[in-house]
């Protein structure tokens, strides 16, 4: 209940803060009164931006928790393991060489890119015998390669550079009501699939033999998990660009509250990850007023030290 109240408070802040600051009363008037002065600001810009942050945050946080459980890697994150980079490379290809310029076109390329990299990382990292170190190294190598490719496409094509300038750093600024409506089915399906996988993935953590004895089919569960991660990361990346560290930080923070049980961890990630993403978006608007820092930049600044802390803690635990 407290998590939901925190989320509601951040939603109000996201709608209220911007180039023109709105009081809670003005936010309410803008939501319910179609002819008020605040209505154009709220319905035209702030509400779509807030709803996109809500959906993308829930997608990235849940995907991070799912990936950490699937790979048994505490450093797993859609950004660090290259899934977001795969989606970004596919979108850059579509924009740079095929002339795709709308979400309707982006999303299918993003889903294909995310799926290809998720499978490749799992294979290169060692499949069932993958270790956290091998997965992290494979993800780092693919990240560097794919983002170099994205940069090359943008530099070679000035049109792509202009279209993807804000998108590549991870931004909610260009959110439109149409984008929110189109991304909702993909993220909704991914969230439902992820929540349905919570119990079998928890059983799978006991080992494949034990899981089979309890009626779980490991290969089917792993495949379904990759599908869920693909839907969540691909749709979120297509809509607002590659936002990193949300899927890393939130599951660790939630795990301190709920423990490792995925039946609690994944729903809490879906609620609290939007708090982080929207909070980063609001912070970027406040710190750089009258301009703004993009949400992806703020999460990267916050997530970098957190990642180093996790590496240090993991190394200490192994000694």
pLDDT tens-digit map of 222-261: 889 889 999 999 999 989 988 988 998 999 999 988 988 9
129-179 tens-digit pLDDT: 556 567 777 878 888 899 899 888 888 776 666 667 777 888 898 888 898
Q: Which of 37-51, 93-107, 213-227 has the highest mean pLDDT?
A: 213-227
What is the structure's pLDDT at 60? 95
With a cut of 70, say whether residue 41 has pLDDT above it: yes
Q: Give all domains of the chain, ordered by start, each with its CATH number.
A: 63-244 (1.10.3470.10)
Q: Quick check: helix, strand or coil at residue 81?
A: coil
Q: Quick check: helix, strand or coil at residue 19?
A: coil
With a cut of 90, say whether residue 92 has pLDDT above it: no
For 202-221, the three-class secondary structure string (H helix, E strand, C coil) is HHHCCCHHHHHHCCCCHHHH
What is the structure's pLDDT at 193? 96
b/e 9-25 (16+ beta carbons within 10 angstroms → b): ebbebbbbbbeeebeee
Number of other residues whose CB lies within 10 A of the CB of residue 218 = 16
With a cut of 80, say whether residue 1 has pLDDT above it: no
Cα end-to-end distance, the chain, whole Å: 39
Q: In terms of C-beta density within 10 A (0-12 exposed, 13-18 middle, 19 or more buried), how is residue 162 classed?
A: exposed
- Contact at 8 Å (CB) between 27 and 38? yes
- Contact at 8 Å (CB) between 92 and 263? no
User: How far is residue 116 from each of residues 86, 113, 132, measured CA to CA in Å?
Assistant: 7, 5, 20
With a cut of 90, say whether residue 194 has pLDDT above it: yes
**Lowest mean pLDDT, pick from 17-31, 82-96, 135-149, 167-181:** 17-31
- Contact at 8 Å (CB) between 270 and 62? yes
Cα separation, 199 vs 211, whole angstroms: 11
204-225 tens-digit pLDDT: 888 888 888 888 888 888 889 8
Mean pLDDT of 101-119: 86
What is the structure's pLDDT at 8? 92
319 pLDDT band, cuts 50/70/90, is: very low
With a cut of 60, say whether residue 67 has pLDDT above it: yes
pTM of the full structure: 0.89
Cα separation, 279 vs 3, whole angstroms: 14
What is the structure's pLDDT at 316? 55
- Contact at 8 Å (CB) between 12 and 277? no
């Amino acid at each position: 209940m407290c998590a939901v109240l925190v989320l509601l408070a951040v939603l109000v802040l996201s709608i209220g803060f911007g180039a023109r600051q709105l009081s809670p009363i003005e936010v309410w008037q803008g939501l319910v009164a179609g002819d008020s002065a605040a209505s154009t600001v709220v319905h035209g810009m702030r509400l779509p931006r807030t709803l996109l942050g809500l959906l993308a945050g829930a997608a990235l946080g849940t995907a991070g928790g799912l990936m950490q459980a699937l790979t048994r890697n505490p450093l797993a994150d859609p950004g660090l393991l290259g899934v977001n980079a795969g989606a970004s490379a596919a979108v850059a290809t579509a924009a740079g060489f095929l002339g795709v310029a709308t979400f309707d076109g982006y999303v299918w390329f993003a889903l294909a890119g995310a799926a290809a990299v998720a499978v490749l990382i799992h294979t290169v990292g060692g499949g069932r015998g993958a270790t956290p170190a091998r997965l992290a190294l494979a993800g780092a190598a693919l990240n560097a390669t794919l983002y170099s490719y994205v940069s090359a496409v943008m530099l070679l094509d000035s049109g792509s550079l202009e279209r993807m300038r804000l998108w590549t750093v991870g931004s909610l600024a260009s959110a439109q009501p149409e984008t929110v409506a189109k991304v909702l089915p993909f993220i909704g399906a991914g969230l439902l699939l992820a929540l349905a996988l919570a119990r079998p993935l928890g059983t799978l953590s006991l080992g494949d033999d034990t899981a089979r004895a309890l009626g779980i089919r490991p290969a089917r569960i792993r495949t379904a998990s990759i599908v869920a991660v693909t839907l969540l990361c691909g749709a979120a990346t297509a809509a607002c660009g590659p936002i990193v560290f949300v899927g890393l930080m939130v599951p660790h923070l939630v795990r301190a509250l709920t423990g490792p049980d995925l039946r609690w961890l994944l729903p809490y990630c879906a609620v609290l990850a939007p708090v982080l993403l929207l909070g980063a978006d609001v912070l970027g608007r406040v710190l750089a007023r009258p301009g703004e820092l993009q949400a992806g930049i703020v999460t990267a600044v916050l997530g970098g030290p957190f990642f180093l802390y996790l590496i240090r803690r993991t190394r200490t635990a192994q000694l």
